[in-house]
Structure 1
Amino acid sequence: MYVVTGGEMHQIDRYTMDQLGLSEEILMENAGQAFVRHLLTSVSIDEKVIVLIGAGNNGGDGFVISRLLAEKGFQFEIWVVPPVERVKGTARFHMDIFKRCGYSFIEYEANSIGFRESLNTCSVIIDALLGTGVKGNLRKPYAYVIKAVNESEKRIISVDIPSGVPSSEGEAEVYGVIANETFTFQAPKLSAFVYPSALHFGEVHTLEIGIPKIAFTEVAPQRQLITEKRVRTTLAKRPADAHKGKAGRALIIGGTQEMTGAPVLTTDACLRAGAGLATMAIPACIHPIVTQKLTESTFMKLPDAEGEIRSDVLKEEISYIQYDGIAIGPGMGRNISKPIYEALRSFNGPVVIDADGLYHMSNELHRWCEEPRSGPTIITPHPGEMALLTGRTIKEVEEHRFEYTLDFAKKYQMYVVLKGPFTIVTTPVGEQWVNTTGNASLAKGGSGDVLTGMILALVLQQHSVIDAICNAVHIHGKLADKMIETHDIFSVKASDLIHSLPRVLRSYRY
């Protein structure tokens, strides 16, 4: 399923009309029909519905919805907020059909005094005021109408996108309808996955309205959702003649005296997610501690200083060729400089860089840009680490999650996993995948270490790199979703995710 901006959706609509011959009138009728079909699953005919209609195509959808509700016998009121003469084009076409069918509406301009009182009499408000083309501050009377809707304490359902909310990213502040649900057409809009605009959408339902697939492939938006169906069909299988060497030999480098748990979580998750062999490369000083925490891995004791791996060790003490993939960074520490690029540039397998590994990488970005590694490089920053890598503020990163990860992935030829609500996976060629699993229980130390281990394990299972990353990200979020079925959202620990991984992973495979 694609994720689009309003501009991209407009291009897709135009291709559908101009190249394929489906008229705008038909598409608008289809949208209204799809909306009402879905609405009938949760709204009783006894409930009073108010439909708020604007001048553009979103308002045209509102007229189709209103006509269909009237035909089914719903109690309803239709409020047309702009002057009626401003309703033009296809919206006017469907307004005229609505009127010819014998139905009427209330003009807001002449009846604004009674608007709030009318809202108090309904149970459902359908927002068909403003569509995906909204820009800048709201003009009168929309600002007042939206304020009244938000204060109504009614069930609010937005048509395609909440009115006043932009369809793309980059807005520090958003003022618009705060919907309980949004019924969006054909493809979810990008702003549904970026805060603060995501707060306005409520639960998003994507409805098919008959736009052929070729319209999307020709316009070619580069963003898609990671769906459960996709994960199930791309999850790696283990051949009957597999042995531990074939299942992937993983090396996890990290740990300090202050952070002994991070590499343990990564290694444990890596084993649980399928790696055949895992070796933990750690400072010698913490070896007695971590061996008590994990029995299934082997250990590489590295020379240390001040509780960290020494600077020269990564280049001189490790034979990387015996491993199929590497994760580096969890709990590694920042007091001693680590030449990550120089150590790993000749390694041909996949490398996952996380946590303190990203800090050290930020000091040598010019090397990664001048001569990218031949093997896949996967980085897993949270917004603070992405800000460090890009020279932006955290606020800027959060406002431009799609744009900045896209620029970075293409410039440095890396796979970028920008963590957070709606984690975004971006490939070196610019494809982006958006994850919708997970919840705020993941806002706890160690969650990212678990994800790093899962990504490394799945990348080693002879899968395509992007499939492996997307599967790891999606299942990692699903672990958190399953945990809050039995645990309070405050109480979930990173190790809980690992303990539930076998059960959740099995549910995807079978």
Structure 2
Amino acid sequence: MHIVTAAEMYEIDRDTIEQIGISADSLMENAGQSLFHVLRERIPRSARVAVLAGTGNNGGDGFVVARMLKSYGYDADLWLIPPKEKIKGAAKTALEVYERSGYDWKPYAGNEQAFATHILQYDVIIDALLGIGIKGEVRPPYKEIIELVNRSRAIVYAIDIPSGTPADGGEAEKAVRADVTITIQCPKLGAYTFPTADYYGELLLIDIGIPPLAVKRNAAPRFVWKEDDVVRTLPKRKRSSHKGTHGKLLVVGGSRAMTGAITLTAKAALRSGAGLLTMAVPDDIYSVVANRVPEAMYYPCPARDGAFSGAMDVSALDIDAIAIGPGLGRTDGVRELVSNIVQKPVPLVIDADALFFWNEYAALIHERKAATVVTPHPGEMARMLNLSIRDIEGDRFGTSKRLAMEYGIYVVLKGPYTIVTTPDGSQYVNTTGNPALAKGGSGDVLTGMVSAFLMQHHSVQEAISNAVWVHGKTADMLVERSHSQWDVLAGDLIEAIPAVLSYVQEKQRGDMG
């Protein structure tokens, strides 16, 4: 499922109309019918419904929805916000069809006081005010109308995007706070970036018959990674496999002040299917961590002041991938260690404190032939790119793409709607997870999962995206079954990995059946 910018959506529509030959009138009718069928399943017949329609395609979709609601006997009022003469194109046709069907509408202009009274009496409000073309501040009368909508107790359904939110994300000075947003054909960037995503409520998608070719040739490769994708791509184990088949992982991390991080990473990697795992730790903490993961092997390394003293020799180790970062600390010895490890010719996952020294070893990344994965949170990403956290959060897609393509690496920008970006700039958004993940140790768990999956998938992108999805799904399952969003620990996530993997395997068996 493509995620598009406003400009891309306009080009998709233009291509569909001008090159493929599906008329604007047909697309609008398809949109309205599809919207109605979703709304019909959710709105009780007893509800009083208001459809608030502006100009443009958003208003036109509202005209079709209002017509269908009335045709099916709903108590629905259509409020036309602009003067009728401002309605043009396909929206004008949709309004004429509505009128010829024998239905009337209520003008907002000249009836502002009546509108202010009535809007508080509806059970459901359908927001068809402003579409993806809005730029800058919301102007009157829409500003006042949005305030009234947000003050009402009605359930609010937004068509395509909540009115007043920028389609590409960013600050929303005045916008509808929807309970449900029914987006048309392709979700927009603003649905997956904050603060705009907070206005969407539940996000639903409808297909209005735009051919995939029109989307593919007008939109950047930017996708939602869905459950179906995980079910399709998670590897199935062969009966002939053995522990070496599923990868030999070296996890490098830990320090006197942070002995837990590497333990979480190691346990998560083993729970995620890694065949053999070695934990490289400073010898100062070997006795502390040695009994925590009995399934792992250990490689104690020279220490200084409770952290790695410098470069380590891994030439004698038989390894297929390395994960470095959890609990390392930020000493000079760690600086040398990370610069040494990035030169090893195996797939590498770099996280946490290992990212602190990014600018000192970044030039070496260009020379790597094996896959390199970095997993920063916004603060780490800001340091890597010499930007502010605000800059990162304001352009999560753009900054991720810039870093991935500049260094030829895979970037996992963590946070709500984690974005996985590949070296060619393709991007995959994860929608699992909840605020239970906002706790120390969650990132260490993800590092272990990504590392383990990396050794078991043929596609690096599929491995990373699947690990991110499973990581988020563990938090979702925990909250659904036994926990609140407050009390989930990183260790709980590890213990929930088996349930999620079993869930995916059941889906795979169901698909085969």
* TM-score using structure 2 length: 0.96
Cα distance, 1:503 vs structure 2: 1.6
Matched, 1:496 2:509: no
Alignment of 1:370-449 (within 5 A): 371-449=366-444
Percent identity, aligned pairs only, is 44
Quick check: 2:343–2:364 contact (8 Å CA) kept in 1? no
Q: Aligned to 1:323, what secondary structure does the other structure show?
A: coil
Cα distance, 1:300 vs structure 2: 0.3
Letter in 1 for 2:89: G
Letter in 2 for 1:246: T
Q: Aligned to 2:428, what secondary structure does the other structure show?
A: strand
Residue of structure 2 in register with 1:123 after alignment: 123
Q: Which runs of 5+ in 1 are unaligned?
A: none
Letter in 2 for 1:68: M
Cα distance, 1:179 vs structure 2: 0.3
Moved more, 354-363 or 118-127: 354-363
Matched, 1:150 2:146: no
Residue of structure 2 in register with 1:461 after alignment: 456
Letter in 2 for 1:474: W
Letter in 2 for 1:85: E
Residue of structure 1 in register with 2:478 after alignment: 483
Query: How far apart in 2 are the matches of 1:365 and 1:346?
Result: 11
Cα distance, 1:243 vs structure 2: 1.2
Residue of structure 2 in register with 1:7 after alignment: 7
Query: Deviation digits for residues 36-63 of structure 1, max 9, x if unmatched?
Result: 1011111112111000000111000011
Query: How far apart in 1 are the matches of 2:454 and 2:309?
Result: 28
Cα distance, 1:363 vs structure 2: 2.9
Query: Deviation digits for residues 426-450 of structure 1, max 9, x if unmatched?
Result: 0010000000000000000000000
Query: Deviation digits for residues 458-481 of structure 1, max 9, x if unmatched?
Result: 110142100000000000000000
Cα distance, 1:174 vs structure 2: 4.0
Matched, 1:452 2:451: no
Quick check: 1:186–1:207 contact (8 Å CA) kept in 2? yes
Query: How far apart in 2 are the matches of 1:30 and 1:320?
Result: 64
CA RMSD, 1 decimal: 1.2
Q: 1:76 to 1:462 in 2, by over 3 A?
A: closer
Alignment of 1:98-247 (within 5 A): 98-169=98-169, 171-247=170-246
Residue of structure 1 in register with 2:509 after alignment: none
* TM-score using structure 1 length: 0.97
Moved more, 458-467 or 379-388: 458-467
Q: Which runs of 5+ in 2 are unaligned?
A: 507-513
Cα distance, 1:340 vs structure 2: 5.3
Letter in 1 for 2:488: V
Cα distance, 1:342 vs structure 2: 3.9
Cα distance, 1:335 vs structure 2: 2.4
Quick check: 1:372–1:412 contact (8 Å CA) kept in 2? no
How many correspondences in the alignment?
504
Quick check: 2:60–2:94 contact (8 Å CA) kept in 1? yes
Residue of structure 1 in register with 2:511 after alignment: none
Query: How far apart in 2 are the matches of 1:382 and 1:146?
Result: 34
Quick check: 1:321–1:347 contact (8 Å CA) kept in 2? no
Query: Deviation digits for residues 298-345 of structure 1, max 9, x if unmatched?
Result: 00000010110012x23xx22276210000000000122423564234
Residue of structure 1 in register with 2:38 after alignment: 38
Q: Aligned to 2:217, what secondary structure does the other structure show?
A: helix
Moved more, 81-90 or 325-334: 81-90
Quick check: 2:166–2:172 contact (8 Å CA) kept in 1? no
Q: Aligned to 2:49, what secondary structure does the other structure show?
A: strand
Q: Aligned to 2:488, what secondary structure does the other structure show?
A: coil
Quick check: 2:55–2:129 contact (8 Å CA) kept in 1? yes
Letter in 2 for 1:360: F
Q: 1:56 to 1:245 in 2, by over 3 A?
A: same
Cα distance, 1:364 vs structure 2: 2.8
Cα distance, 1:367 vs structure 2: 3.7
Letter in 1 for 2:315: S
Q: Aligned to 2:20, what secondary structure does the other structure show?
A: coil
Quick check: 1:340–1:360 contact (8 Å CA) kept in 2? no
Q: 1:256 to 1:342 in 2, by over 3 A?
A: closer
Letter in 1 for 2:497: L
Residue of structure 1 in register with 2:254 after alignment: 255
Query: How far apart in 2 are the matches of 1:210 and 1:339?
Result: 56
Letter in 2 for 1:352: V
Q: 1:306 to 1:8 in 2, by over 3 A?
A: same
Q: 1:226 to 1:320 in 2, by over 3 A?
A: farther
Letter in 1 for 2:352: A
Residue of structure 1 in register with 2:510 after alignment: none
Residue of structure 2 in register with 1:354 after alignment: 351
Quick check: 2:342–2:364 contact (8 Å CA) kept in 1? no
Quick check: 2:150–2:176 contact (8 Å CA) kept in 1? yes
Cα distance, 1:346 vs structure 2: 4.0
Query: Deviation digits for residues 191-249 of structure 1, max 9, x if unmatched?
Result: 01101000110000001111111112222421100100000010012222111112100
Query: How far apart in 2 are the matches of 1:192 and 1:113?
Result: 33
Query: How far apart in 2 are the matches of 1:503 and 1:52?
Result: 45
Query: Deviation digits for residues 150-206 of structure 1, max 9, x if unmatched?
Result: 11121000011110111113x244421100000111111110110100011000000
Residue of structure 2 in register with 1:270 after alignment: 269
Quick check: 1:253–1:326 contact (8 Å CA) kept in 2? yes
Letter in 1 for 2:306: G
Q: Aligned to 1:206, what secondary structure does the other structure show?
A: strand
Residue of structure 2 in register with 1:338 after alignment: 335
Cα distance, 1:292 vs structure 2: 2.0
Matched, 1:506 2:502: yes
Residue 365 (structure 1) aligned to one of 362, 366, 370: 362
